[in-house]
């Protein structure tokens, strides 16, 4: 993908992320997360839902006052009072959200398609008159009738909306259908599109990227993919995939990815799994003999990018799957230079210990094994 495309990253950790069942951020945590996202380079931060009032409104106001480089967006229903509250908080941008699928219109809104367009149009016209940047969110867009979605998007454009947020609200898209649907909207409406994808089938990041490939210039994400149900597209995955798979460098300060992930993990009370893509502690841990041997010869044999780029460190893990090359390299770190023969002698003990403990070995345990084994013989 060429760099003349201008991709805008919209982080909604503080809105969709906090909507995760059971997650509540303290106000100071919301402020801290906004600062970290801004430091990283995120272009727009969806900070929350101003009309909720109380602490939510206070936190959003405080974030708006920080003077960050990022645009600060408030989430709104197509209701004038919601938008007025976003303005009162100091937001420069608003997301105006309404469902476009028949199942939502019929059962949730208990209204008609015409009513949906009317509400949206009125709200967008008001927000534009107030000088705000406007994203029109088509909730449940992926399950909406295509012709109606086109009509809705044309009406949004006509009313002055700056972009359409294409929401795969229940996460039912795959990258192939995403590409086709988003491409059709862009071709038929000629409006900027933001991808907002959910991970119910584990494809949130893939679908977000497919949308970008189809021409969406905005991509909505959350730290660690935090979000309703199975979550959203993960910020760190989208940024690194754009760089290494699409060859599109956002020039973000990616070295702080691990720090941001740890902070959001603690603040949300959600674990940060070792196997999490991009920022998990296992991303650069190597144990199996063949991999470790390759790694020692050249790190890129088994790594897509370097650990420092995301604030992690490479780890050589010694355990059941280790080979002699890794054992020798590990002992060399302690200043013990084993011959190949000594390493071969030690390896079965290392492996047996790992099996009996059902885990890899700590550095100290390795030294004890060495002392026991060679101490006995001399």
Which positions touch Mn ion (CB under 5 A)?
16
- Distance, in Å, from the CA atom of 113 to the CA atom of 145, rounded to the nearest integer, reads 11
State which residue, 171 or 175, has the beta carbon closest to Mn ion. Answer: 171
Tokens (6 digits) for 274: 């070792």
Tokens (6 digits) for 159: 């009313």
Task: Please report how close the Cβ of residue 333 comes to Mn ion at its closest, in angstroms.
Answer: 46
Q: Look at residues 196, 272, 229 and name the one whose alpha carbon lies nearest to residue 10.
A: 196
Please classify residue 313 by burial: count the beta carbons closer than 10 Å to its beta carbon, then call 0-12 exposed, 13-18 middle and 19+ buried: exposed
State which residue, 16 or 56, has the beta carbon closest to Mn ion. Answer: 16
Task: Please report how close the Cβ of residue 195 comes to Mn ion at its closest, in angstroms.
Answer: 11
Q: Look at residues 87, 89, 15, 88 and name the one whose alpha carbon lies nearest to residue 45.
A: 15
Task: Please report how close the Cβ of residue 275 comes to Mn ion at its closest, in angstroms.
Answer: 24
Helix axes 175-189, 146-159, angle to 10 degrees: 50
State which residue, 12 or 254, has the beta carbon closest to Mn ion. Answer: 12
- Distance, in Å, from the CA atom of 106 to the CA atom of 330, rounded to the nearest integer, reads 64
State which residue, 10 or 214, has the beta carbon closest to Mn ion. Answer: 10
For residues 64-82, one letter each, b for 16 or more C-beta atoms within 10 angstroms of the residue's C-beta and e for the rest, the string is: beeebebbbbbbbebbeeb
State which residue, 138 or 369, has the beta carbon closest to Mn ion. Answer: 138
Pick left, alpha or beta for residue 247 (phi over 0 → left; psi -120 to 50 → alpha; otherwise beta): left
State which residue, 227 or 280, has the beta carbon closest to Mn ion. Answer: 227
Give the chain's largest Cα–Cα span.
Answer: 89
Task: Please report how close the Cβ of residue 247 comes to Mn ion at its closest, in angstroms.
Answer: 28
- Distance, in Å, from the CA atom of 73 to the CA atom of 104, rounded to the nearest integer, reads 24
Q: What are phi and psi of 320, to 5 degrees?
A: -60, -30
Task: Please report how close the Cβ of residue 229 comes to Mn ion at its closest, in angstroms.
Answer: 9
Q: Look at residues 262, 216, 209 and name the one whose alpha carbon lies nearest to residue 238.
A: 209
Task: Please report how close the Cβ of residue 198 comes to Mn ion at its closest, in angstroms.
Answer: 6
Task: Please report how close the Cβ of residue 1 comes to Mn ion at its closest, in angstroms.
Answer: 25
State which residue, 152 or 370, has the beta carbon closest to Mn ion. Answer: 152
- Distance, in Å, from the CA atom of 192 to the CA atom of 217, rounded to the nearest integer, reads 7
State which residue, 13 or 121, has the beta carbon closest to Mn ion. Answer: 13
Q: Cβ(378)–Cβ(359) under 8 Å? A: no
State which residue, 49 or 354, has the beta carbon closest to Mn ion. Answer: 49
State which residue, 175 or 227, has the beta carbon closest to Mn ion. Answer: 227
For residues 211-230, one letter each, b for 16 or more C-beta atoms within 10 angstroms of the residue's C-beta and e for the rest, the string is: bbebebbbbbbbbbbbbbee
Task: Please report how close the Cβ of residue 314 comes to Mn ion at its closest, in angstroms.
Answer: 35
Q: Using CB positions, name the residue nearest to Mn ion.
A: 16
Determine the number of helices (DSSP H) and then strands (DSSP E) in the chain: 14, 10
């Amino acid at each position: 993908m060429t760099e003349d495309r201008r991709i805008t990253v919209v982080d909604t950790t503080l809105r969709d992320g906090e909507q995760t069942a059971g997650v509540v951020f303290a106000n100071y945590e919301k402020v801290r997360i906004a600062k970290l996202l801004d430091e990283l380079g995120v272009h727009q931060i969806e900070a929350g839902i101003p009309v909720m009032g109380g602490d939510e409104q206070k936190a959003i106001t405080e974030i708006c006052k920080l003077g960050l480089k990022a645009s600060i967006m408030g989430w709104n229903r197509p209701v004038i009072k919601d938008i007025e509250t976003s303005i009162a908080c100091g937001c420069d941008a608003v997301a105006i959200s309404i469902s476009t699928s028949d199942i939502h219109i019929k059962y949730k809104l208990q209204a008609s398609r015409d009513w949906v367009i009317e509400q949206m149009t009125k709200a967008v016209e008001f927000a534009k008159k107030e000088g705000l940047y406007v994203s029109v969110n088509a909730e449940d867009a992926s399950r909406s009738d295509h012709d109606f979605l086109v009509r809705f998007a044309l009406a949004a454009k006509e009313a002055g909306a700056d972009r359409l947020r294409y929401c795969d609200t229940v996460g039912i898209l795959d990258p192939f259908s995403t590409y086709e649907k988003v491409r059709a909207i862009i071709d038929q409406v000629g409006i900027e599109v933001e991808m907002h994808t959910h991970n119910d089938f584990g494809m949130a990041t893939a679908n977000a990227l497919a949308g970008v490939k189809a021409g969406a210039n905005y991509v909505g994400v959350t730290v660690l993919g935090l979000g309703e149900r199975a979550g959203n597209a993960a910020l760190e995955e989208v940024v690194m995939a754009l760089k290494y798979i699409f060859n599109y460098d956002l020039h973000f300060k990616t070295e702080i990815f691990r720090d941001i992930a740890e902070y959001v993990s603690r603040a949300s009370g959600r674990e940060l799994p070792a196997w999490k893509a991009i920022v998990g502690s296992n991303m650069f841990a190597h144990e199996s003999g063949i991999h470790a041997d390759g790694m020692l010869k050249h790190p890129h044999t088994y790594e897509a990018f370097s650990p420092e780029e995301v604030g992690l460190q490479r780890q050589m893990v010694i355990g059941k799957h280790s080979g002699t090359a890794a054992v020798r390299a590990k002992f060399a770190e302690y200043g013990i230079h084993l011959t190949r023969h000594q390493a071969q002698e030690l390896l079965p003990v290392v492996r047996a210990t790992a099996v009996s403990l059902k885990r890899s070995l700590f550095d100290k345990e390795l030294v004890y094994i060495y002392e026991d084994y060679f101490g006995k013989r001399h």
